[in-house]
Amino acid sequence: MNFWVPVVFGTFKLLVLGTGMFLAIKSHYDGEKKEKKEKEQEMKAP
């Protein structure tokens, strides 16, 4: 029984860290995309 405790918690930890890294990278990418779009609109406006 004690063998499964680190396996379960380790798997959970990897899932949480993986999800966090995915969301951090996605947020960063979406932020750059939004800034680029706003900058293009400012350049087009007279």
Q: Which two tokens stand for residue 13?
A: 């930890």
Using a 10 angstrom Cβ sphere, with 0-12 exposed, 13-18 middle and 19 or more buried, the burial of residue 9 is: exposed
Return the pLDDT at 46: 65
Return the pLDDT at 17: 99
Return the pLDDT at 13: 98
What 3-state DSSP class applies to 2?
coil
**1-46 tens-digit pLDDT:** 789 999 999 999 999 999 999 999 999 999 999 888 888 888 886 6
